Amino acid sequence: MAIVFISVWTLIATTVLASISIKLEPSLIEFGKSGLDISCVVNDTNLIGTTHIYLKRSESYVVSVTIFKIAWQDKALENKTGVTVNGSINNTMTSYLRLEISKTVVRYREDMGSYQCILSAVTASHEIKRYQSQSIVLNITGFLESTTKRLSTSNHKSTEVSAQNGYQENSTESFINTDKPLQKKRLVLYRTIMIPITTIISGMLAFIVARELRLHYFVSKATTTAKNHRKKYTNGVYIV
C-alpha cells in the first residue's frame, strides 16, 4: 500500500508536442479514492483555426469537441453521474478539451491505458493538418484490496443477519451454494412420496393384525364349542 500513496497527489504529467499538449493528473490513482482529470490544450499560435480536438485512450476515442458540439465515443461514460466534460474551439488561442471523472465512477480496467490528445487544425497556409500530443499512461491500483474489503463487509453483514434468525451461515458475493435449493427440492419430493406410502403400509399392517386377532378369537371360540358338544354326562361321569 505504501507504493500506492507515493506521489499520488503530486505526480502531474505534462508534455508538449508541436501544437497540442496533454495534462493528466494524477497518472497513478488508487481505485475508489482518486479521481481523474485530463486536459488537452492547443499551444500553436501559428494556427488560424481549429476543427476538432480528440481525446484518445489506447486504441479507442473517448470524447471530442467540434465547433458545433461535444461528442462522446465512449458511450458508457456519456451522461454518467460524476463525469463532466468541457471544451471549446471557437478561439484557436484558447481551444481546449477537459474530462473529469470522479473517484466514484473510475473504472478499473476500462479507464487504464495510454492517453493522447489529437488536434485537427488549419495552418497559416490554409492546410488542414493533424497533430498529436505525447502519450501518458494512466495506472490504477488498489482494485483487489477494495474488492476484498467490500466482500469482507458483505460477509460480516450476512453472518449477522443469519445469526439473528437462530443459525449461522457463511456466504460471499462470489459464491452461491446451489446445493441447498436442490436438497430442499429432494426433501419435498421425498415427503410427497413417502408420507402417502407409509400411511398406506401402516393401514394395511393394522388391517392384517386386526384380522388375525379376529380370526384367532373365532377359532378359539369354535374349538371350545366343539369340545362342549362332544362331552356327555352319564351316571355322574363325563364321557368324551
In-domain check, residue 221: yes
Residue spans of beta strands (DSSP E) within the chain: 13-17, 20-25, 28-30, 36-42, 49-57, 60-65, 70-72, 83-88, 96-101, 113-122, 128-132, 136-141, 232-234, 237-239
Same domain, 120 and 212: no
Same domain, 113 and 32: yes
Same domain, 195 and 123: no
In-domain check, residue 173: no
pTM above 0.75, yes or no: no
Same domain, 72 and 185: no
What residue numbers bound the domain in which 193 lies? Answer: 180-229
Same domain, 187 and 139: no
CATH code: domain of residue 138: 2.60.40.10
What parts of the chain have a pLDDT lower than 50?
1-17, 159, 161-178, 233
Same domain, 9 and 77: yes
How many structural domains compose the chain?
2
146-181: per-residue pLDDT in tens? Answer: 566 555 555 555 545 444 444 444 444 444 444 556
